[in-house]
Structures are given as C-alpha cells and as structure tokens.
C-alpha cells in the first residue's frame, strides 16, 4: 500500500492511527490506495502488525471462455467466504507477467491463483519469484512455491475416441486450443493414443484458439484439406459449437448422421436444444474446491507445502451430436427398406 500511495510505511500507519501527525495530502493518498486494494481502516493495523494482507491475487486471461469465467466466480466466492480479499489481475497471456510480478510484490499478496489457459514453466518461475503460495489452475506446472490442480484431459479424450469408434467413425479430426496450451495437448494426446491403440492413425489437427469463431473456421479448414472427418473432437465446447454451426450451415452436413461431434467442459450452452452437444464434463467446482483447500494449507505453512499436483477426473456426457446407430446397422436397415433420400 505504501508503494502504491507513494509514501513510507510509517506514513501509512500514522494515517490510520488516531492522534498521529500526518498531512492531509498524505492521508488522501493512503486512503485512495486503500480503496483500490479493498482495505478498510479496521483491517490495516492488523495487516501491518502481522505482515499479512489477506489479499489473494487471481491472474487471468481469456475470461470470455465460459469455463474460466465460471471458475473465476467460484474462486472469488470461495476465497471471500474464507475472509480473503480478491485482486483480479487480467493479462493478455503469460508473456504479460513481466509487468505483473512487481505489482503483486508491492501489494504484498498472501497467495496467487494463476487461471491462465497457457502457463509456461518460465512464467511459473516468475510467479514463484514473488515467494508466496501459488496455485496453477488447469496447467500442471509446479515447483516449491507453485502447486497445480488439473482435470484429467487425456482420460476424457480417450472416452470420446472410444465413443466415436463405437458409433462407427472411420476418420478423425481434432480442433485444438491455443498454441502451447497444456490442456489442449493432453486432450489431443489421449485422443490420438486411444485411436493408435486400435491401429487407427492420421488424425487431422487444426487450431481454433478456444473461441467459437476459431471452431467455425477450423471446420472450413478441414473441408479444404479433403473429406470432412467422420468424428470431430474439439478441445472445448465453444469451438465445438462453432464447428457444429459451420458443418450445418456452411457445408450442409447432418450431425450426427454425417459427422459425430464432441467437445470438452460441459458449459451451459452445450445442453441448449440447438446444440445438444456430447461433451466431457470438466468439474470446475471440484477443481476450485481442491485448489482452495491446497492454498489454505500452503498459506498456513508456506515453506513446508508445495510441488503438488492434483488431478480431477471428468465424465463423458453423451447427447444428440453422437447419438446414432453404428454405420453397419444403419446400412443394413437401408438395404432392407429400399432407397431413401435425405
């Protein structure tokens, strides 16, 4: 607070102590800084005495992603219920952390939550330099000061691949998230590994940057490469929804008759009647609860707890975009019923 106000720590203490000599201008600067940081006068003496701010910084980007937006709300609510003030720091990506770390140090935060879809090891080391307990949310980067809580992306993707195979898909596509995203890479790994185990290769991969528009354009890119894959798995629901619209409205294909589509996250839009999207539930509430529990342990004993990785399992939720009979059964019915038209 002293750094933000541009005054000494003793001036901050005097500004909040009755009967102490302090200029009107200094008081104004201190109170403005306190307001920005969410401090109240009755908390400040305790903070100065205990060297604790009760302030937890959440570093986030891409809050237009429904999964991360919901996670931010859950983190804020859970931390406030425990008596912490929450400081939301928005950045463009993990390369923007150079300017953030000095601010976090000046705010004397008690802990940090990184809710960045992409967090490199270098960025995690930069956060560790603040030397306070830090949670890496959904990216398994960890060290002495950083613990990680992630979903089982590979396991969820494997379940999607098996479902596609059961439904008779013979060619496969994957719409990846942002370059460098560990979550996207894990989902691709689980998907490809499961298909390779069935002696199926040649997954067509295109990036969609986790956005609706990215998923829409990804399908058009797949179409330019050749026949559309019979099973398309997207690294998140937002891209899968964009892919569905492109398949139907740009290419005139039927889902699931012509193409199977699945996403990941189970955002509210996935269950809308217009999409009814098969997806993997990424249990954000359970992940946040686990992260907050670990954070409490780390704050209580910051030097004895760290380098933790917890993985929360997902759950396959099948909806209309994959609910069809296998191609063999469908072909048999068509042969028995005579010619038909779409």
Q: What is the mean pLDDT of residues 104-132?
A: 80
Rg of the chain in Å (alpha carbons):
25
- Numbered ranges of CATH 3.40.50.2300 in the chain: 11-20+41-151+286-313, 153-282+316-337
Percent of the chain clearing pLDDT 70 (strictly above): 83
- Say which residues have a Cβ less than 8 Å from residue 15's Cβ, sequence separation at least 6: 22, 26, 27, 30, 31
Distance CA 137, CA 54 (A): 20
Given a contact cutoff of 8 angstroms between Cβ atoms, the answer to whether 200 and 29 are in contact is no
CA end-to-end span of the chain? 68
Number of H helices, E strands in the chain: 13, 12
CATH superfamily ID and name for 153-282+316-337 = Response regulator (3.40.50.2300)
Residue 13 banded pLDDT, cuts 50, 70, 90: low
Going by C-alpha positions, the residue among 135, 127, 131 that lies closest to residue 72 is 135
* Of the candidate ranges 221-235, 266-280, 326-340, the one whose mean pLDDT is the lowest: 326-340
pTM: 0.78
- Say which residues have a Cβ less than 8 Å from residue 206's Cβ, sequence separation at least 6: 173, 174, 175, 176, 218, 221, 222
- Say which residues have a Cβ less than 8 Å from residue 165's Cβ, sequence separation at least 6: 195, 198, 200
11-20+41-151+286-313 folds as Rossmann fold (3.40.50)
Please, what is the average pLDDT of the chain? Answer: 85
Q: What is the mean pLDDT of residues 30-47?
A: 64
Provide, for the chain, the percentages of residues in helix, strand and coil under a 3-state DSSP scheme, each rounded to the nearest 5. Answer: 50, 15, 35
Given a contact cutoff of 8 angstroms between Cβ atoms, the answer to whether 102 and 73 are in contact is no
User: Residue 313: its pLDDT value, please?
Assistant: 96
Q: Which two tokens stand for residue 111?
A: 């802990």
């Amino acid at each position: 607070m002293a750094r933000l106000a541009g005054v000494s720590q003793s001036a901050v203490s005097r500004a909040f102590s009755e009967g102490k000599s302090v200029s009107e201008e200094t008081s104004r600067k201190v109170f403005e800084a306190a307001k920005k940081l969410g401090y109240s006068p009755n908390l400040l003496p305790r903070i100065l005495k205990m060297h604790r701010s009760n302030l937890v910084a959440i570093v986030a980007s891409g809050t237009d992603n429904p999964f991360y937006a919901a996670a931010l709300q859950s983190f804020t609510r859970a931390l406030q219920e425990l008596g912490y003030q929450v400081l939301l720091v928005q950045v463009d990506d993990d390369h923007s952390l150079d300017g953030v770390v000095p601010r976090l140090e000046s705010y004397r935060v008690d802990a940090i939550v990184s809710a960045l879809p992409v967090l490199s090891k270098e960025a995690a080391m930069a956060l560790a330099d603040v030397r306070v307990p830090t949670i890496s949310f959904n990216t398994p980067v960890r060290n002495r000061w950083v613990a990680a809580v992630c979903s089982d992306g590979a396991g969820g993707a494997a379940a999607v691949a098996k479902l596609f195979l059961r439904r008779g898909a013979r060619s496969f596509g994957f719409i990846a998230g942002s370059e460098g995203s560990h979550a996207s890479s894990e989902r691709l790994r689980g998907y490809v590994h499961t298909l390779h185990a069935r002696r199926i290769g040649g997954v067509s991969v295109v990036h969609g940057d986790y956005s609706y528009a990215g998923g829409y354009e990804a399908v058009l890119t797949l179409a330019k490469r050749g026949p559309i894959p019979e099973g398309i798995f997207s690294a998140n629901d937002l891209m899968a929804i964009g892919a569905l619209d492109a398949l139907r409205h740009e290419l005139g294909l039927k889902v699931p008759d012509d193409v199977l589509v699945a996403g990941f996250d189970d955002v509210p839009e996935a269950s809308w009647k217009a999409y009814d999207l098969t997806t993997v539930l990424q249990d954000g509430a359970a992940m946040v609860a686990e992260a907050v529990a670990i954070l409490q342990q780390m704050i209580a004993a910051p030097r004895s707890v760290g380098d933790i990785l917890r993985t929360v399992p997902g759950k396959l939720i099948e909806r209309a975009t994959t609910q069809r009979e296998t191609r063999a059964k469908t072909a048999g019915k068509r042969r028995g019923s005579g010619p038909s038209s779409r």
